[in-house]
């Protein structure tokens, strides 16, 4: 988990509220990703960003939004439009092409979101 921080670790939300999950990395990685993990379904890609000020929808983007104003930060907002947001959310980053570890992704410790 080193170098990628996610906060908070646990988050509780009432129905109808938007919440923002934080992801910060100090690894000087260019690409960042958000995944959602549900039991028995593995990880599914929500959004990803290859460079600052640019991001693309993943496989399950509906009800989520992101921004990438800084290289180090990639916050995820879970909006009230997300019908079933209770899940474990994982942020990841990967280094630029000149690094040996270019093809790897490095994961943060995750945020567990529960809708009350």
Residues that bind other proteins (CB under 8 A): 1, 4, 6, 31, 33, 35, 40-45, 48, 50, 56, 58, 88, 90, 92, 94, 103-110, 112
Cβ proximity to other proteins: between 27 and 43 the closer is 43
Cβ proximity to other proteins: between 16 and 42 the closer is 42
- Which CA distances in Å does 85 have to 8, 17, 19, 81? 16, 11, 10, 9
Cβ proximity to other proteins: between 32 and 115 the closer is 32
Contact 106, 4 (CB under 8 A): yes
Q: Find out whether the peptide bond into 69 is cis, omega within 30 degrees of 0.
A: no
């Amino acid at each position: 988990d080193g170098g990628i921080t996610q906060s908070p670790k646990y988050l509780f939300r009432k129905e109808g509220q938007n919440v923002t999950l934080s992801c910060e990395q100090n690894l000087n990685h260019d690409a960042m990703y958000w995944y959602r993990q549900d039991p028995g379904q593995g990880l599914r890609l929500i959004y990803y960003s290859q460079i600052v000020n640019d991001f693309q929808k993943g496989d399950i983007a509906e009800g989520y939004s992101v921004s990438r104003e800084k290289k180090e930060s990639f916050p995820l907002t879970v909006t009230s439009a997300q019908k079933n947001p209770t899940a474990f959310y994982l942020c990841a980053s990967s280094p630029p092409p000149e690094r040996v570890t270019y093809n790897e992704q490095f994961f943060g410790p995750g945020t567990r979101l529960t809708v009350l």
